[in-house]
Amino acid sequence: MASLLGKNTPAPTVHALYAAGSTRRIGLIIGLAILVMAAIIISAGIGTVAISPQDTILAIGHSSEVALRGFLHQCLPAAGAWYDAIPFTIPAPANPQAELIVVGFRLPRIFLAILTGISLAVAGTVMQGLLRNPLVSPFTLGMSSAASFGAALAIVLGPGLVAGLFLVSYDLFIIVSAFVFGWLSMLLVYWISRSRGTSQSTLILAGVVIGYLFTAGVMALKYVTNNEKLRELMIWLMGGMWGASWNVVLILVPLVLACFILLERMSWDLNALSAGDDVARNLGINVERLRLSGLMISTFAASCCLAFTGIIGFIGLMGPHICRLIIGSDHRYLIPCSALMGAAILLISDTAARTIMSPVEIPVGIIMYIIGGSFFLVLIMRARGRGLY
């Protein structure tokens, strides 16, 4: 090695190679973040009414400045007076409708797509690490169908009955109901995974069966509900961002952020678990507690978003696999990379869903079924070629 590098050139140390690899991974994550930011600007500008990129940026900046100024004057008058003294202000966009269209209608939908993509991709990454199966995800394990059944049950019950019996808000009850049934499906998967002789294919088949069971429950709800609720339920089950609003975004932001931080803190343990349960135990990791807590947090993160978007599949499968190809299997970098990749995939897909046949919108769930189904078939063929089945 030294002869190839030259007599006076020292061989790179392990620490130097590790630092170089870390720098490359961080650079890729920053590149993905820039891609997501660019996708936000482009997505906010295109639609039935086209908005130029300049007006889109000005609309976001001006509305943010106005909101910040109002907040400071209301809560911190001294800071508000200091802010008013700053000579620089962001001008309003030239298009008078830009601010209403971009900030009032498109940005909530964009942020809901980003939050949903983050939660599903991170949940898929963690589930694959915990169960050491490259084909598991919230969709393939039946969790999406279970969470959808819980949310559909809340929709059928209606806001009046929910507020009267459970004394909670309607949106909160949808989240709790989706999480309870999603977690129930994860408990079934966890129990099956602990059985001796359980292969990777058996685990996937178990998830498919669990998904069918909860899908049958959703079909029963569609059968017994009235026409108005049936239409709302059918539209919701196709998967889409129609329920997007700033209230929903404000509910989901702290929940998704908290789950992301908790799962990112498990990255070292997930790296150790990839070497096997015995190795992880020898390193002092409580494997059973790690699996239970990881599955619960990832299920909660995915269920919260699915409660407002309906069934959206394959994000938790595509995001982690694409990121492993470009960044490796170190969960410290894989989790944030998958989060950004999931956000980019779902945001671009939702933008295509609402613009490809504008003014008619296609449910983004349909697009994800086509893209994700093809991707899943490719993964199965690759897995069979490597002797995993």
Using only C-alpha atoms, what is the Rg of the chain?
Answer: 23
| Residue in 259, 317, 269, 318 with CA at minimum distance from that of residue 291 | 269
Is pLDDT at 212 greater than 90 in this prediction?
no
Given this model, what pLDDT does residue 227 score? 61
Rounded average pLDDT over 245-266: 93
Given this model, what pLDDT does residue 357 score? 84
Given this model, what pLDDT does residue 385 score? 55
In this prediction, residue 4 has a pLDDT band, given cuts at 50, 70 and 90, of very low
**What's the mean per-residue pLDDT of the chain?**
83
Q: How far apart are the first and last CA of the chain?
A: 39
Given this model, what pLDDT does residue 219 score? 83
* Residue percentage of the chain with pLDDT more than 90: 28
Q: What is the C-alpha separation between 210 and 185, in angstroms, rounded?
A: 7
Q: Which residues have a Cβ under 8 Å from the Cβ of 337 and sit 6 or more positions away?
A: 25, 28, 29, 32, 323, 326, 327
pLDDT in tens, 279-329: 889 988 998 889 889 988 998 898 888 888 888 888 988 999 999 988 988
Given this model, what pLDDT does residue 228 score? 67
| Residue in 53, 33, 35, 36 with CA at minimum distance from that of residue 44 | 53
SS3 275: coil
Is pLDDT at 333 greater than 70 in this prediction?
yes
Q: Which of 5-9, 55-59, 257-261 has the lowest mean pLDDT?
A: 5-9
Q: Where are the domains of the chain?
A: 53-96, 105-385
Rounded average pLDDT over 183-209: 76
Given this model, what pLDDT does residue 249 score? 93
Q: Which CATH architecture has domain 105-385?
A: Orthogonal Bundle (1.10)
Q: What is the DSSP letter of 102?
A: I
Tokens of 171: 């949106």
Contact between 81 and 303 under an 8 Å Cβ cutoff? The reply is no
**What Cα–Cα distance (Å) separates residue 299 from each residue in 103, 119, 190, 243, 343?**
30, 9, 12, 21, 17
In this prediction, residue 383 has a pLDDT band, given cuts at 50, 70 and 90, of low
| Residue in 330, 323, 328 with CA at minimum distance from that of residue 270 | 330
> Which residue type, as a one-letter code, is found at position 6?
G
Rounded average pLDDT over 163-185: 75
Given this model, what pLDDT does residue 8 score? 57
pLDDT in tens, 19-39: 667 888 999 999 999 999 999
According to the per-residue pLDDT averaged within each range, which of 146-155, 215-224, 344-353 is highest? 344-353
SS3 16: helix
Contact between 337 and 320 under an 8 Å Cβ cutoff? The reply is no
Is pLDDT at 109 greater than 50 in this prediction?
yes
Given this model, what pLDDT does residue 388 score? 46
Q: What is the C-alpha separation between 274 and 130, in angstroms, rounded?
A: 8
Considering only residues 310 and 14, tell me which one the structure prediction assigns the higher pLDDT: 310
Is pLDDT at 80 greater than 60 in this prediction?
yes
In this prediction, residue 381 has a pLDDT band, given cuts at 50, 70 and 90, of confident
Q: Which residues have a Cβ under 8 Å from the Cβ of 102 and sit 6 or more positions away?
A: 44, 45, 51, 55, 56, 59, 60
Q: What is the C-alpha separation between 137 and 311, in angstroms, rounded?
A: 13
Where do we find the tokens 């999931």? 342
Given this model, what pLDDT does residue 1 score? 45
Q: What is the C-alpha separation between 147 and 169, in angstroms, rounded?
A: 18
| Residue in 297, 304, 305 with CA at minimum distance from that of residue 364 | 305
Give how far the C-alpha of residue 367 lies from the chain's centroid of Cα atoms, to the nearest Å: 16
Q: What is the DSSP letter of 195?
A: S
Q: What is the C-alpha separation between 16 and 12, in angstroms, rounded?
A: 6
Question: Other C-beta atoms within 10 Å of 89: how many?
Answer: 13
Given this model, what pLDDT does residue 231 score? 66
In this prediction, residue 244 has a pLDDT band, given cuts at 50, 70 and 90, of confident
SS3 261: helix
Q: What is the C-alpha separation between 163 and 328, in angstroms, rounded?
A: 47
Given this model, what pLDDT does residue 260 score? 96
Beta strands per DSSP E along 223-345: none
Is pLDDT at 247 greater than 80 in this prediction?
yes
> Which residue type, as a one-letter code, is found at position 245?
S
Rounded average pLDDT over 65-72: 82
Q: What is the C-alpha separation between 74 and 227, in angstroms, rounded?
A: 46
Given this model, what pLDDT does residue 161 score? 61
In this prediction, residue 43 has a pLDDT band, given cuts at 50, 70 and 90, of very high
Is pLDDT at 191 greater than 90 in this prediction?
no
Q: Which of 72-86, 118-132, 247-261 has the lowest mean pLDDT?
A: 72-86
| Residue in 111, 143, 147 with CA at minimum distance from that of residue 316 | 143
Whole-prediction pTM: 0.85
